[in-house]
Chain A
Amino acid sequence: MPKNRMLIKKEVSTYAQVLLDAARQAGRQYEISAQLEEMKKVVRMSPGFAEVLRDTSLPEATRSEIIGEAFKEFDPDMIKFVTVMADRGEIALLPQVAAEYDRELQEEDNVVILDVATVIPLDDELREKIKAKFGAQFGKEIALREHVDSWLLGGMNVRANGKRIDCCTATRLDKMRVALSDVTTGGER
């Protein structure tokens, strides 16, 4: 049965608040935030897997087993949380729950969650430089959510509060390729 927007928003908020409370009790609120982001990405990138999660005709035990296998490196509470959502047929709300979780976390802690993607893992020195750079921009403490992505080739991508800056080498090379393709070589026009 379709739900109206207010009910959905309330439901999303409830999911996010419950998860955040549980994460705070474990002191892993930022790790859970990162895992939520990863799960969201996995569900978005794997339509077949998302279809299995949405399939309510599948026995709960089987679905739970599939989720546990897919996210076996994730926090056990996180896996339980996603399983509950899937059993309730509300896995489609995962992106909204992740966004609401981050919003509430940032608001409660007065921080800005900054997603940083690089080719190599960050060391402490780089983390401090990034926090200093963007902390000055936002006037708040920066909570890093790190991602390693070899596709970038080099440099980094940063994203916070729905905004994104792409400083990676792959994008620069692509811009260079476009510029080279558009160069007029002269001669007869």
Chain B
Amino acid sequence: MKASFKKLAARTGAVAALASSMAFALPAFAFAAEKKTSGIAAILPTMDEFIPMVVAFLILLAILAKWGWPMFDKVLVKRENTIRAALEQAEENRIESERVLKEYQDRLIDAREEASTIVSEAKQQAEAQRAEITSRAQDEADRIIAKARETIKTEQQAARGELQASVADIAVAAMAKVVEEDFSDADHRRLIERSIEEVGNLNA
């Protein structure tokens, strides 16, 4: 298209140059025959100038009408089509861009919502894990404390039992000592009599 435009411009330029040279050549003859005038006649063309100019103009007009204007018209139409096509393409691109933009925006919204959901779920999971860890730690602490209390209680009971046993051993040993050393035969006799009274049935 660019090459044809250049060709058209070259042709049009040649025709215009020929017409101009003719238009300017004819006044040269006119100026050569120019006579001294004054008043309004000074600005009005004389007939020997006017006619070549009209002829040159007509020739130029004819040339332009025959070759120049269709060429320009063709170029203009082509240009118009090109621009229209470009505009249509641009419109399509704009629509496509808007569609893509809308799609991206939708995706972005979806992504944001998904991200928000993920963050929310992650927060919930973290919260649940924190609660579970706290609960476990509390349970473990409670278990340790309960075990420690149980151990202390057991040891206390064992110590108390040992103390009681020791006290009982000492008390009984003391009583046995008293009975063994201080009881007279009369005391032993009373004990035997009491045993006879309290003894159960040996023939049961």
Contact = CB atoms under 8 A, between A and B. Distances in A.
Contact of B161 (A118, A165, A181): A181
A129 B196 contact: yes
B164 A183 contact: yes
Given A155-B192, A160-B202, A181 B164 contact: yes
A181 B164 CA distance: 5
Contact of A126 (B180, B193, B200): B193
Contacts of B14: none
Interface stretch (A43-51, A59-67, A85-93, A132-140): A132-140
A181 B191 contact: no
Given A126-B192, A181-B165, A167 B179 contact: no
Nearest to B190: A154
Interface string B37-62: 00000000000000000000000000
B164 A155 contact: no
Interface in A98-116: 114
A174 B172 contact: yes
A155 B172 contact: no
A173 B172 contact: yes
A123 B195 CA distance: 15
A188 interface: yes
A169 B171 CA distance: 14
B191 A155 contact: yes
B61 to A, nearest CB: 131
A118 to B, nearest CB: 6
- Chain B binding surface SS class: helix
Interface residues of B, number: 32
Interface string A146-160: 000010011110101
A143 interface: no
A188 B153 contact: yes
B199 A165 contact: yes
A123 B189 CA distance: 9
Given A129-B196, A133-B196, A181-B164, A158 B172 contact: no
B98 to A, nearest CB: 82
Contacts of B171: 177, 180
Contacts of A126: 189, 192-193, 196
Interface in A59-95: none
B123 interface: no
Contact of A120 (B164, B175, B188): B188
Given A129-B193, A129-B196, A185 B160 contact: yes
B189 A120 contact: yes
A64 to B, nearest CB: 39
B35 to A, nearest CB: 152
B73 interface: no
A137 B167 contact: no
Given A153-B179, A160-B203, 15 more contacts: A118-B188, A119-B188, A123-B189, A133-B196, A150-B180, A154-B188, A154-B191, A154-B192, A155-B195, A158-B199, A163-B203, A170-B176, A179-B168, A181-B161, A181-B168
Interface of A: 114, 118-120, 122-123, 126, 129-130, 133-134, 137-138, 150, 153-156, 158, 160-161, 163, 165, 167-170, 173-174, 176-183, 185, 188
Q: Which 10 A-B pairs give the minimum distances between C-beta atoms?
A: A180-B168, A167-B195, A177-B172, A154-B191, A181-B165, A155-B195, A137-B203, A177-B168, A181-B168, A120-B188
